[in-house]
Structure 1
Amino acid sequence: MTGEAFKGFGSKAIPFLKALDFHQSREWFLENRDLFEKELRDPLGDLVDTLTQRFAEAGLGLRGDRKKSLFRINRDVRFAKDKRPYNRHLSAILSPDGTKMEQGVFFVHIGLDRCFAGVAWWQPAPELLTAMRKAIASHPDTFRAVVAALRKNGLELDAEGGMKRTPRGFEEVADKDLVAAIRNRHFAVRHAIDPAGIHGPELVEELVDFTLRAKPLLDWGRAIEGKTAKD
């Protein structure tokens, strides 16, 4: 299927995920693959293509590809205790170079438990994460301005998954807000999507608006990443 403007996920998108989660069967999935493609996969590809165009127009520096940007519905169960073969969600990522290997990305997740979008520097490589922590410690006013801008835009940095102890080299940082930030393993903001709102083209405007509101985080991380690449 060639790319089209996003019109919304199919009315049976969530019911399909519920049925797939119930059956967890390759035979059932193959029998219903056409429904999966029509209701979920192809619309998500259209969403990636449409957002790529809209993000370019907005100067956000994020793009994707309807084939390469989508994550598989199949689970990798090689080293997992949970051997169910299929995910309860479908997701995609848009990044600076259009691959899944970059940092400073946009992420969209359509699932049974929740639907959401995120903008994140998610578990960046040690060198970049250390540079981010050093930037927080050495330029606290800049970091606090980013946090304030995000809050003004209705967004909060994700506080989950932080280290219990301050990493080595940052013991002298005393301010509680900076300590909490330095203990982060990632820097991300999220936007909850109403599952009832995934079936129309209005979702595009909602996601563009969210990503524009998250731009202070993207700009902060990119500035640090740029300096790290030059060193």
Structure 2
Amino acid sequence: MSETVFKGFGDKALPFLKALDFHQNREWFLENKDLFEAHLYEPLGDLVDDLIVRFEKAGLPFKGDRKKSQFRIKRDTRFAKDKSPYNRHLSALLSPDGSKWSESGCFYVCVGLEEYRGCYAAVAFWQGKPELLLAMRKAIVAKPEKYRAMVKALASNGLELRDIDRLKRTPRGFEEVTDADLIEALRNRHFMVRHTIEPARITSPELADDLFDFALRAKPLIDWGRAIQGTLPA
């Protein structure tokens, strides 16, 4: 059992995001900031604290901070077509070095409106440096048995790699590969598994148990990716 007790998000968490989506202005947000902090921001901080303790005890490489690990509710709209000032979700990211931009495999949790991102958690190697992605692709071809064992282990745990943003063509240098599953893997830009959170579940303290269990089930992906990363020059 975790030393930090997560009590669940507030029952007004999703209604707040729905109202924020409708109003989308600073005045309304400031008038309702207490609701945001009590039902979303502080509970997400509690969840981060709770999971950090559990992950450390289980030897999972996900660290963070209840404040620094959270992404801002306010959007950066400088290069966005949608100029709405606020996100329709609140999220946090835990990583081996505790930063929000780690390339060593990360744990991400999001509470949001269904018509946008929804509520979910993910474990991923996301937007890694080109040299890491190339090393992963080379490892898939050089040691396909290890890649397939990882995929099989995930499947045994009820998870599968997602195909978000996959290339339409096999990357240059790997044209000789003919196995369908390896071709699919080589076209990945990211390696991710996802856990959908039922909206009604976010107010339950047991959400922390669900997410910890998901992270444990995703460990084959983390172990595979970090082993490859360990072969790269420092």
TM-score (norm: length of structure 1)? 0.97
Asked whether 1:126 is paired with 2:127, we answer no
Match for 2:33: what amino acid? R
* SS class of match (2:193): strand
Consecutive unaligned residues of structure 2, counting only runs of 5 or more, are none
Question: C-alpha distance in 1, partners of 2:135/2:218?
Answer: 20
What are the superposed Cα offsets for residues 13-53 of structure 1, whole Å, 9 maximum, x if unpaired?
00000000000010000000011000000000010011000
* SS class of match (1:70): coil
The offset of 1:67, in angstroms, is 1.2
* CA shift in 2, pair 1:4/1:149, >3 Å: closer
What are the superposed Cα offsets for residues 146-198 of structure 1, whole Å, 9 maximum, x if unpaired?
00000010001001211011111111111010000000000000000011011
* SS class of match (2:61): coil
Match of 2:112 in 1: 111
Match of 1:75 in 2: 75
* SS class of match (1:120): strand
Asked whether 1:216 is paired with 2:217, we answer no
Match for 1:105: what amino acid? C
Match for 1:142: what amino acid? K
Question: C-alpha distance in 2, partners of 1:142/1:40?
Answer: 40
In the alignment, which of 122, 139, 151 is matched to residue 143 of structure 2? 139
* SS class of match (1:229): coil
Asked whether 1:225 is paired with 2:229, we answer yes
The offset of 1:61, in angstroms, is 1.5
Question: C-alpha distance in 1, partners of 2:142/2:53?
Answer: 37
Match for 1:200: what amino acid? S
* SS class of match (1:159): coil
The offset of 1:5, in angstroms, is 2.3
Question: C-alpha distance in 2, partners of 1:160/1:224?
Answer: 21
TM-score (norm: length of structure 2)? 0.95
Q: Matched residues, percent identical? A: 66
Consecutive unaligned residues of structure 1, counting only runs of 5 or more, are none
Question: C-alpha distance in 2, partners of 1:213/1:229?
Answer: 29
Match of 2:192 in 1: 188
Match of 2:8 in 1: 8
